[in-house]
Structure 1
Amino acid sequence: MNRRHALKALTGLVLCPLCASTGSAAEGAHWTYEGTTGPANWGDVDAASKVCSVGSQQSPIDINGSIKAQLPPLRIAWGKTADTIVNNGHTIQLNTAKGTLTFGGGPYRLLQFHFHRPSEHLIRGKSFPMEAHFVHAHASGALAVVGALMVAGRPNRVFSKIITTMPTHEGETVKADPAINPNGLLPRRLAYYRYPGSLTTPPCSETVEWLLLTDPIQVADADIAGFAKLYAMNARPAQKANRRDVLRSG
């Protein structure tokens, strides 16, 4: 496979990282969050997902400690709208071709964002009600995911609009409401944890630079409940840190 085709295939994966390795949940091997096709057995769903069980830099993790470091600031220049909302059978995902992320090198292009309940990352053993993942790809093929932990509190207008307009049937895609601005899902302060990891769904590729924001965002408890009506649990358990250092911005 030449470089151009390789990047095209990678982009297809990033656009739907919750799909199987073929880029389509319908075409690929079946996986779930429970039972015989749950996280403990993802490494057996197909050959491309073997790293889910044998990888040494898997995500998410429980961040029990971190090293304060002079990390570059996150420079987020996302567009103010999304293109489509997809119920892909594993989560609610919003696709977009607008915006970039830089943190030292770059830029990384924002491709999509989606949600997990409860949070996939833990902080000193603590889980959060939800977590948002903003998936970016660099022209080189490198991936960067910004994670935002979510807690119950003040309503968030962007998240509320997502919940009221999201498709309820698996496989359904709708045009995103113009009021859905991904920037509205960020905390005011962009301090973050950084560590090398993986996609948190099959094929669990260890190609991700994780940038988990230290400050959570608040969303309405009713909206968390609304998401839970579709996906009561779609979070992979924390994986072994395997002596990876987690850096924390100042």
Structure 2
Amino acid sequence: MKSKVKLALTVIAALAATASAGAADTRPHWEYQGKAGAAHWGELAPDFAACGRGKAQSPIDIRAPRAGAASPIGFAYRASSADIVNNGHTVQVDLADGGDIDVAGTTYRLVQFHFHTPSEEAVNGRRYPLVAHLVHRSDAGELAVVAVLFKRGRDNAALGPVFAGMPATAGEKRAATAEFDAAALLPERRGYYGYTGSLTTPPCSEGVRWHILKEPVEVSSAQLAAFRKLYRMNARPVQPLNGRVVEVTQ
């Protein structure tokens, strides 16, 4: 029980640290490359130790997933007011009341979603141009992430208002001009790869439930270029699976 409480407090603190660009961030500076890059995160602070020593880290390269008893995701998203934040590492959309998901009888409230390019997770060695990570939190403080993969194609209407309002400066926040319904980001088919991993940014806390939707949606080259103008690359390298099982649902 103590370990679960400690995990809940850790992930809540990590989520809060990136929830608002206006709040002071006293954590050590980190980035994706160079001396403070992903290869060195575990050395930057004691609280970041899991980034270097953890055995259940994310992201992963998904290969040979096992058909198992993973539960379908019950999506219950709704339109919500939103703030679009440039937090210095990505563009993040904070939702006031964006609805929730249900997985195996546990309800997780949608808190925010953000983007990585290329996709952090790989499927059979392939990384997609972009991924959105939808971050959810249960009443017990447990985190569940739904990942939506993007492939090049047509303009994505759901991303239009978000990418049109992306703040160019780290630390800047803008209110979205209209309510946003995260259901618009989802593919038609909701089968997913599921496993237990970690946050993909420091402090890399473990115990996060991951759900990578199998069916990608489209993003245009122009939209991808607009995001990459702010963040050319913000993806952590894939991490060892270390015996974990990845289950797949249809």
Distance change (3 Å), C-alpha of 1:6 and 1:59? closer
Q: How does 1:92-171 map to 2 (within 5 A)?
A: 92-98=91-97, 99-171=99-171
Partner residue, 2:234: 234
Instruction: For 1:75, give the aligned amino acid.
Output: G
- Residues 18-43 of structure 1 deviation map (CA, whole Å, 9 limit, x = unaligned): 89xxx967321100011010000000
Instruction: For 1:195, give the aligned amino acid.
Output: Y
Between 214-223 and 9-18, report the one with greater CA deviation: 9-18
| Residue 46 of structure 1, CA deviation | 0.7
Partner residue, 1:50: 49
Query: Aligned pairs, how many?
Result: 246
SS of the residue aligned with 1:236?
Answer: coil
- Residues 84-141 of structure 1 deviation map (CA, whole Å, 9 limit, x = unaligned): 0100000000001321110112111111000000000000000100010000111112
Between 9-18 and 111-120, report the one with greater CA deviation: 9-18
SS of the residue aligned with 1:229?
Answer: helix
CA distance in 2, matches of 1:188, 1:194: 18
- Residues 39-93 of structure 1 deviation map (CA, whole Å, 9 limit, x = unaligned): 0000011110000000000000000110112322111111223420100000000
1:79 equivalent in alignment to 2:78: yes
SS of the residue aligned with 2:183?
Answer: helix
SS of the residue aligned with 1:77?
Answer: strand
Instruction: For 1:138, give the aligned amino acid.
Output: S
Q: How does 1:209-220 map to 2 (within 5 A)?
A: 209-220=209-220
Residues 91 and 114 in structure 1, CA contact (< 8 A), matched pair in contact too = yes
Partner residue, 1:244: 244
CA distance in 2, matches of 1:202, 1:46: 10
Residues 14 and 137 in structure 1, CA contact (< 8 A), matched pair in contact too = no
| Residue 181 of structure 1, CA deviation | 2.5
Between 149-158 and 57-66, report the one with greater CA deviation: 149-158
Partner residue, 1:173: 173
Q: RMSD of aligned C-alpha atoms? A: 2.3
Between 37-46 and 65-74, report the one with greater CA deviation: 65-74
| Residue 230 of structure 1, CA deviation | 0.1
Normalised to the residue count of structure 1, the TM-score between the two structures is 0.92
Normalised to the residue count of structure 2, the TM-score between the two structures is 0.92
Partner residue, 1:185: 185
Q: Which runs of 5+ in 2 are unaligned?
A: none
| Residue 220 of structure 1, CA deviation | 1.3
Distance change (3 Å), C-alpha of 1:24 and 1:48? farther
Partner residue, 1:36: 35
Q: Which runs of 5+ in 1 are unaligned?
A: none
Partner residue, 1:13: 14
Identity %: 40
| Residue 161 of structure 1, CA deviation | 1.6
